[in-house]
Structure 1
């Protein structure tokens, strides 16, 4: 069981990538093949949290598989999230990180189809995670907004420079 092919991707733009060669995962009962040209953003991590969980890493294949399963609805959302957690373990993601990532995708899925026992596990993971992440997330968010303001000021100042002397400062964008 596990991934039986290598990941080959190509960048589309600053946010999205496409799978260049099929990515195959052998599950317990099924084989899932992510086709070439499948579009992904790798792990959908909010910008204030990329300091802890970058958008790509050892878990990239698991994130792409999860995107594929959710988008194609090959399995239920709860099963896709469970497969995600299992593939994170198979990719050697540490227990705290994989459980936080699982809790995040469960929350993103609206906790549909979750059993009472799984909901209790979710709470045991989510509550400490929120407490652990709250202060650094607020600090990072404040500084991202401040940096965006600095970029905005530089962009406005650049508009007043004659066109032949402009440094062509790109328009600032607030991305999540």
Structure 2
């Protein structure tokens, strides 16, 4: 069980990548083949949290598989999220990180198909995650906004310069 092929991707732009060779995952009962050309953003992590969970890492293949099974509706949302957690374990993601990532994707799936017992587990993990993440996330967010203002000022100054002296600074974008 597990991935039976290497991950080969090509950058499309600063946010998206495409799979260049099929990525194959052999599960207990099913095989999933992510086709060449499949577009992904790797792990969809809010910007203030990338200090803890970057958009890519040992869990990249699990994130791509999760994107694929959700987008193609190969399995339901609850099963896709459970598969994601299992594959994170197979990729040697630490237990706290994988449960936190699972809680986040379950929230993203609007807790679709969750049983009462699984909801209690999710709630405990979500509350502990919020307690752990609250202060650093607020601090990072404050500094991201501050840096966005600095970039905005630099952009305005650059726009006011004569055309031959402009450095073509791109318009700042607040991304979360």
Question: The TM-score by the shorter chain falls in which range?
Answer: over 0.9
Task: Report the CA distance between 1:117 and its aligned residue.
Answer: 1.0
Q: What are the ranges of 5 or more consecutive residues in structure 2 without an aligned counterpart?
A: none
Q: Per-residue CA shift, 1:97-150, capped at 9, x if unaligned?
A: 000000000000000101111111101211000011011111111110110000
- Aligned residue for 2:93? 93
State the alpha-carbon separation in 2 of the partners of residues 44 and 136 from structure 1.
19
Instruction: Work out the number of aligned pairs and report it.
Output: 176
State the alpha-carbon separation in 2 of the partners of residues 64 and 149 from structure 1.
33
Q: How is 1:1-176 mapped onto 2 (pairs within 5 angstroms)?
A: 1-176=1-176
Task: Indicate the SS of the match to 1:25.
Answer: strand
Q: Per-residue CA shift, 1:33-92, capped at 9, x if unaligned?
A: 000000000000000000000000000000000000100000010000000000000000
Task: Report the CA distance between 1:27 and its aligned residue.
Answer: 0.6
Q: What are the ranges of 5 or more consecutive residues in structure 1 without an aligned counterpart?
A: none
List, as ranges, runs of 4+ consecutive aligned residues in structure 1 with deviation greater than 4 Å: none
**TM-score after normalising by structure 1:** 0.99
State the alpha-carbon separation in 2 of the partners of residues 90 and 31 from structure 1.
15
Task: Report the CA distance between 1:166 and its aligned residue.
Answer: 1.4
State the alpha-carbon separation in 2 of the partners of residues 166 and 110 from structure 1.
46
Alignment root-mean-square deviation, CA: 0.6
Task: Indicate the SS of the match to 1:66.
Answer: helix
